[in-house]
C-alpha cells in the first residue's frame, strides 16, 4: 500500500481535486491512500460511526415487508454474511497488485462514490463512467448504469476481473487468493457453509451492501408528519418535484419506491451532444460480433466510448440508445459529480439540464420536456434534493451545499433559459440547421 501512496496516490489526489474545482466531499486533507482514496482504516472508522446494521435485523428506515421482497432466495441477509462482505469490500488484496478494493471507488468518506467524474482503477487507469454510490441498493436493480448485471450478487464479481478496475486475471485466481488468506475460509464456512468460491464472494459483498441503508432524511420525517422538518423552500421544491418539474415520473419517491428510481432506462440526452450515436452503433455491433460475454460487455461499457450508447450495448435495441438506468436521488447532496459520465458538477447543473428539456436527440425519452422553471423554482427544487440526505451525512451535506451554491452563482454551463421557456425549440434548429427561414 505504502508503495503506491507516492505514485498513483499523489496523481489521483491531484486529479480528484481538479474536477470542477470543487472540494471532494469531506475528505480529510491529510489522509490519502492509493489512487487518491481515503485510507481504508479511516474509512472503516467512518463506517463504524455511521452505525449501519450488522445484518441480524431489518435496517432502520426500511419497511420489513419491503425488505422481505428484496431478499434473494439464496442469500438471505445475516450477520455472518454481512461481516464477510464487509471484510471483502475493504480488502485491496482482491486486486492484482493489492492497491484497489471496492472501497477505492466506493469510498465511505465520499458518499460511497469517489467524488470524481470517472473512476481510477489498477495502474492508474481511468474509466469512462461515474461510480454510483453503493447506498440503498437493496431497492435498485438491475445493477450498473446500463443494467448489465441483473443482481447485486452478479454485479459484485465483475470489478474483480475488469482489467481497468481490480485487474485480476480470472475468478479462479480470486478464489485461489482467498483460500490462501487464512482469515477467509472460516468466514466463508460460517456464512455459507462451504469453502471460498466466487459465487459466495458475490453473495457476501451483496449482503454487506444491502445493509448500507441511508433513508433517514428530513424528507422522511416530514412525510411522517413532522411539519417543520422541511423548510418552505424545500416543501415548494417537493411540489415541483412531483408536479411541474415532472421528476417523480422517473424518480418516484413513495412507499414502494423509497429511493427515487423507477429502475427503468431513459435517454435524457446527457451524452447526446458529444457523440455520433449512429457511428457508435455500427462500432458496437461489430465489437459484439467478436465477443459478447459478460466480461466483454463490461469492458466495452467502462473502457470505450461505446459505453455512451448505454443500455443499447446490453440489448442491441435501438430504442435503448443513450438510455441509462434512472439513478436514485437519495443522498445526491454528497455524491457529486452527477450522471453516468460525471459531467455535471452541481445539482443546479442537473436541474438546468432538465429545465431546457435535456439535449435533443432522436432517442430522447418522451418524458423529457422543457420545464419553464424560474430561478426561484430551480433553487427550491435543488433545496429539496438536498433535503433527501440522511442525517448521518449532515456534515458532508452542508459542505457540499456551500461549495455547490458558490459555484452555481458563478457558472451554470447547462443553463439555457430560452429553451426552458420554449422561446426557441430544438426541432426548428434541427430542421433548419439553425437558420429560422422556414416560418
Task: Kindly state the DSSP code that residue 110 receives in the 8-state scheme.
Answer: G
CB nearer other proteins, residue 135 or residue 321: 321
97/360 with CB nearer other proteins: 360
Please give the C-alpha separations between residue 31 and each of 18, 179, 383, 394, in angstroms, as whole numbers: 17, 31, 31, 21
Contact assessment for residue 138 and residue 69, using Cβ atoms and an 8 Å cutoff: no
Report 53-92 residues binding other proteins (CB under 8 A): none
Asked if 424 contacts 435 with a C-beta cutoff of 8 angstroms, the reply is no
Residue 145, interface with ligand HEC (CB under 6 A)? yes
> Which residues, 345 to 364, sit near other proteins by CB under 8 A?
360, 362-364
Tell me how far apart the alpha carbons of residues 83 and 352 are, in angstroms, rounded to a whole number: 42
In the complex, minimum distance from the CB of residue 371 to other proteins, in angstroms, rounded to a whole number: 13
The distance of Cα 73 from the centroid of its chain, to the nearest Å, equals 26
Contacts of 304 (CB under 8 A, 6+ apart): 128, 287
Is position 264 an interface residue for other proteins (rule: CB under 8 A)?
yes
Q: Is residue 365 near other proteins by the rule CB under 8 A?
A: yes
Using the rule CB under 8 A, is 366 a contact of other proteins?
yes
Least Å from the CB of residue 364 to other proteins: 7
Nearest to 91 by CA among 187, 214, 22, 217: 187
Considering only residues 105, 139, 217, 272, which one is a binding residue for ligand HEC as defined by CB under 6 A? Answer: 105
Length of the chain in terms of residues written: 439
**For ligand HEC, which stretch binds (CB under 6 A), given 8-16, 70-78, 331-339, 410-418?**
331-339
Nearer to ligand HEC by Cβ, of 211 and 245: the residue is 245
Reading the block at residue 217, the C-alpha cell is: 432524511
Between CA 386 and CA 360 the distance in angstroms is: 28
Residue where the block lists cell 424518480: 251
Q: Say which residues have a Cβ less than 8 Å from residue 359's Cβ, sequence separation at least 6.
A: 268, 269, 270, 272, 273, 353
Cα 200 to Cα 202: distance, rounded to the nearest angstrom:
5
Instruction: Please check whether residue 139 is in contact with residue 185, taking contact to mean a CB–CB distance below 8 angstroms.
Output: no
Return the range that interacts with ligand HEC (CB under 6 A); candidates 13-21, 363-371, 411-419, 429-437. Answer: 363-371
Interface residues for ligand HEC in 378-417 (CB under 6 A)?
381, 385
Comparing CA positions, the residue from 102, 93, 129, 156 lying closest to residue 294 is: 156
Nearest distance, CB of residue 324 and ligand HEC, angstroms: 4
Among 125, 292, 304, 425, binds other proteins (CB under 8 A): 425
Smallest separation, CB 95 to ligand HEC (Å): 7
> Within positions 317 to 346, which residues make up the interface with other proteins, using CB under 8 A?
317-319
- Chain residues binding ligand HEC by CB under 6 A are 100, 102, 104-106, 119, 121, 127, 129, 131-132, 134, 137, 140, 143-145, 152, 155-156, 159-160, 165-166, 205, 209, 245-247, 249-251, 266, 268, 270, 301-302, 324, 326-327, 329, 332, 335, 338-340, 347, 350-351, 354, 365, 367-368, 381, 385
- Chain residues binding other proteins by CB under 8 A are 249-250, 262, 264, 278, 281, 317-319, 360, 362-367, 422-428, 430-432, 438-439
Amino acid at each position: 500500500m505504502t508503495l503506491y501512496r507516492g505514485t498513483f496516490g499523489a496523481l489521483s489526489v491531484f486529479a480528484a481535486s481538479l474536477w470542477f474545482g470543487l472540494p471532494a466531499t469531506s475528505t480529510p486533507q491529510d489522509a490519502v491512500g492509493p489512487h487518491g482514496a481515503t485510507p481504508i482504516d479511516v474509512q472503516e472508522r467512518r463506517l463504524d460511526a455511521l452505525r449501519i446494521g450488522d445484518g441480524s435485523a431489518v435496517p432502520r428506515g426500511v419497511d420489513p415487508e419491503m425488505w422481505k421482497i428484496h431478499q434473494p432466495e439464496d442469500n438471505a441477509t445475516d450477520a455472518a454474511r454481512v461481516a464477510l462482505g464487509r471484510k471483502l469490500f475493504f480488502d485491496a488484496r482482491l486486486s492484482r497488485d493489492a492497491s484497489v478494493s471496492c472501497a477505492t471507488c466506493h469510498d465511505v468518506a465520499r458518499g460511497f462514490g469517489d467524488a470524481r467524474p470517472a473512476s481510477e482503477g489498477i495502474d492508474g487507469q481511468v474509466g469512462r463512467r461515474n461510480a454510483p454510490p453503493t447506498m440503498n441498493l437493496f431497492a435498485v436493480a438491475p445493477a450498473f448504469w446500463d443494467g448489465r448485471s441483473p443482481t447485486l450478487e452478479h454485479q459484485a464479481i465483475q470489478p474483480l476481473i475488469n482489467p481497468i478496475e481490480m485487474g485480476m486475471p480470472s475468478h479462479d485466481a480470486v478464489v485461489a487468493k482467498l483460500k490462501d488468506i487464512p482469515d477467509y475460509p472460516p468466514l466463508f464456512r460460517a456464512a455459507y457453509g462451504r469453502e471460498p468460491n466466487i459465487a459466495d464472494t458475490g453473495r457476501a459483498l451483496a449482503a454487506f451492501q444491502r445493509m448500507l441503508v441511508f433513508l433517514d432524511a428530513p424528507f422522511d420525517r416530514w412525510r411522517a408528519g413532522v411539519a417543520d422538518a422541511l423548510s418552505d423552500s424545500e416543501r415548494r421544491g417537493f411540489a415541483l418535484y412531483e408536479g411541474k418539474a415532472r421528476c417523480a415520473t422517473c424518480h418516484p419517491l413513495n412507499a414502494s419506491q423509497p429511493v427515487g428510481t423507477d429502475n427503468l432506462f431513459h435517454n435524457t440526452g446527457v451524452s447526446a451532444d458529444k457523440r455520433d450515436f449512429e457511428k457508435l452503433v455500427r462500432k458496437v455491433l461489430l465489437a459484439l460480433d467478436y465477443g459478447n460475454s459478460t466480461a466483454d460487455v463490461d469492458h466495452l461499457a467502462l473502457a470505450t466510448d461505446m459505453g455512451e450508447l448505454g443500455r443499447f450495448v446490453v440489448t442491441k435495441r435501438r430504442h435503448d440508445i443513450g438510455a441509462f438506468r434512472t439513478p436514485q436521488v437519495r443522498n445526491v447532496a454528497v455524491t457529486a459529480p452527477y450522471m453516468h459520465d460525471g459531467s455535471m458538477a452541481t445539482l443546479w447543473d442537473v436541474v438546468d439540464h432538465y429545465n431546457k428539456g435535456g439535449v435533443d436527440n432522436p432517442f430522447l425519452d418522451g418524458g423529457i420536456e422543457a420545464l419553464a422553471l424560474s430561478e426561484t423554482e430551480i433553487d427550491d427544487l435543488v433545496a429539496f434534493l438536498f433535503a433527501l440526505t440522511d442525517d448521518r451525512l449532515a456534515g458532508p451535506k452542508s459542505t457540499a451545499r456551500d461549495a455547490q451554491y458558490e459555484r452555481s452563482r458563478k457558472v451554470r454551463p447547462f443553463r439555457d433559459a430560452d429553451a426552458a421557456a420554449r422561446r426557441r425549440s430544438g426541432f426548428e434548429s434541427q430542421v433548419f440547421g439553425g437558420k429560422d427561414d422556414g416560418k
